[in-house]
Amino acid sequence: MSGPAVSAEGLAAAYGDVRVLEQVSFSAEPGQSVCVLGPNGGGKTTLFRVLLGELEPLAGGVEVSGRPAYMAQTERTRLDFPVTALDVAVMGALARGRWWLPPSREERAAARAALERVGLGTEADVRFGELSGGQRQRALLARALVQDAPVLLLDEPLSGVDPASAALIGGVFDELRAEGRALLVASHDVESARSFDLVLCVNRRQVAFGPPAATLHRATLEATYGHELIVLDGQSAVTVQHHGHGH
Amino acid sequence: MEVVDFLLDPLRSGIDRRALLELALVGSLCGALGFWVLTERLAYGAESLAHGLLPGLVLAALAGVPLLLGAVGGALAAAVLIALAASDPRTGPDAGTAVAVTGLVGLGALLALAPDSPQRLEELLFGDPLGVSDGDLAAGVALVVVGGALLAALHRPLAAMAFDPAGAAAAGLRPALVRLALLVLLAAAVAVAVQGLGALLVLAVLIAPPVAVRAHARTPAQAMMGGAAVAVLAALVGMEVSFHAHSAAGASVALALCAAAGLGAALRPSRRGARRGARPRSLPPAQASPGRRPGAA
């Protein structure tokens, strides 16, 4: 594969007349991980919606290799809907077409393999709503794995996840990068961003883009988070988030 | 044997057998379809459509054409009018829909009370399963065959949309088209079912079965099959009651459906039992190694 797996140039997006994202330009090669860092309402999910083709750019454009896989935030799924972890994983196969037919044996096998990969092999028949928070995130990751996409967009995949699940999800991310897939991971966790290849700081516009060492310094983070940023010891920083779905 | 004879009495009448067949056909499709109507929160829309098609039914009766044609035309006209009324931001969708539906029911009653009207208003409002024609039965069979095939084809997209609309769209599905297909099927089901149960009672066969089974089903397929079974069983019970108590057949079936909904809701598994599998299971020791971070090399 030649060229970036995903890129944006001069991207702007709006909901109606309200501009929510401006001046976003970045690119990621196959095998690279990008942390999309910003506060709630900063435009992370909007950027993903544009990359998924759900939202037309107001200006600029994006290039994505193939149809990206998407891992939504758990709270945007319906916990009372009667589906098992296996059913959720199989949904990833819808991207291959044939949506009018029942899942094939191969698709179910791929879903079981994805569940095994995220440590949910024995939970395949448990209802999604009965899984723990970390297990739900892993089931959604399994759905993204089944899609077998060159680019994965993961929206706050570690939000509310227990340390063991976070470690396992991180391990899968490493494997995906090694397979040559590009990962864009939305997060508001400054410390976790240091372990990515690239960091894209957004707060309704692009604040910075580049390797962690070049982007995660005080001035950039203050521009990204404003008064939500608390610097602990001159190096480490945490953010105070006002929870709620943003743009 | 006396009990068996008692239960089989209604089936000895050809009229009752036809009525039961029609209700079973309509119920098996509507009981399954109802799961998606509830899931997509379309109960109010379904009720509005069923009530709003009354003028179409009355006009068909006045013109002497099959009621099914009137039901289809009435449903289309009602859908357009409701959509227009609900889109007015000054009144809001609920109030706009309520005004439009009330107006349509009023218009239907006005037409039905005209001296030339050959069919009584109560039959259009409350249905007359004992009066089903060969055409009604054929429409019921077509609804089961075509509607069942459409439900089967839409099963995966509907489930993916209901679980996570954003994820379904990301996988390449078009939620608006899937929802439109569901609405078309709903309109067709209402148009066919209204022959037996009338404009006011038809909602029972769409909503009561999924309400009865949804707390007990572990998968959408189970809920759909359970809903279909409840609808057919309620039709049987309603026809038995109607035959032996000399009560109105449509109303008896509707009450049996609602009783099933109440029973199913009352017998729902306890929260403790339902969440027996909810305990987070620990990871295998080899995987539970904290300290790694996403993206770490």
pLDDT band for A122, please (50, 70, 90 cuts): very high
Provide the mean pLDDT of chain A. 88
Sequence-distant (≥ 6) Cβ neighbours of residue B117 within 8 angstroms:
B58, B61, B62, B111
Provide the mean pLDDT of chain B. 83
Cβ–Cβ under 8 Å, residues B115 and B138: no
For the segment B198-209, the average pLDDT, to the nearest whole number, is 89
Nearest by CB to B295, from A33, A83, A153: name it.
Answer: A33
The C-alpha atoms of residue B193 and residue B229 are separated, in whole angstroms, by 16
Which of B149-153's residues contact partners 24+ apart within 8 Å by CB, and which partners? B150/B181, B150/B185, B151/B29, B151/B32, B151/B33, B151/B36, B151/B185, B151/B224, B153/A100
pLDDT at A60 exceeding the cut of 90: yes
Tell me what pLDDT residue A184 has.
97
pLDDT at A137 exceeding the cut of 70: yes
Return the closest-CA partner of residue B206 out of B219, B220, B187: B187
Say if the Cβ atoms of B159 and A83 lie within 8 Å: yes
Distance from CA of B196 to the nearest CA of A (A): 31
Cβ–Cβ under 8 Å, residues A82 and A128: no
Nearest by CB to B295, from A69, A99, A195: name it.
Answer: A195
The C-alpha atoms of residue A12 and residue B100 are separated, in whole angstroms, by 41
Length of chain B, please?
297
Q: Which tens digit of pLDDT belongs to each residue from A146-191?
A: 999 999 999 988 887 888 888 899 899 999 999 999 999 998 888 8
Nearest by CB to B295, from A52, A135, A196: name it.
Answer: A196
Tell me which of B156, B219, B275 to substitute to probe the interface with A (most A C-beta atoms closer than 10 Å): B156
pLDDT at B273 exceeding the cut of 90: no
Distance from CA of A47 to the nearest CA of B (A): 13
pLDDT at B220 exceeding the cut of 70: yes
ipTM of the complex: 0.82
Q: What is the DSSP letter of A103?
A: P
Say if the Cβ atoms of B163 and A91 lie within 8 Å: yes
Identity of the highest mean pLDDT range in A110-114, B177-181, B242-246: A110-114
**Does residue A163 belong to the interface with chain B, where contact is any CB pair within 8 Å?**
yes
Q: Is the model more confident about A247 or about B15?
A: B15
Contacts of B171 in chain A (CB under 8 A): 70, 91-92, 94-95, 147
Beta partners for residue A201, in sequence order? A37, A208
Contacts of A185 in chain B (CB under 8 A): 294-295
Q: Which tens digit of pLDDT belongs to each residue from B125-183?
A: 887 888 888 888 999 999 999 999 999 999 999 999 999 988 888 888 888 888 888 98
pLDDT at B115 exceeding the cut of 80: no
Distance from CA of B290 to the nearest CA of A (A): 5
Cβ–Cβ under 8 Å, residues B67 and B128: no
- DSSP string covering B228-295: HHHHHHHHHHHHHHHHHHT--HHHHHHHHHHHHHHHHHHTPPPHHHHTGGGSPPPPPTTT--TT--TT
pLDDT at B289 exceeding the cut of 50: no
* Cβ count near A244 (within 10 Å): 7
pLDDT at B120 exceeding the cut of 60: yes
Distance from CA of B168 to the nearest CA of A (A): 8
> Which B residues, 212 through 271, put their C-beta within 8 Å of a C-beta on chain A?
214, 217-220, 222-223
pLDDT band for A105, please (50, 70, 90 cuts): very high
> SS3 string of B6-42?
HHHHHHHCHHHHHHHHHHHHHHHHHHHHHHHHHHCCC
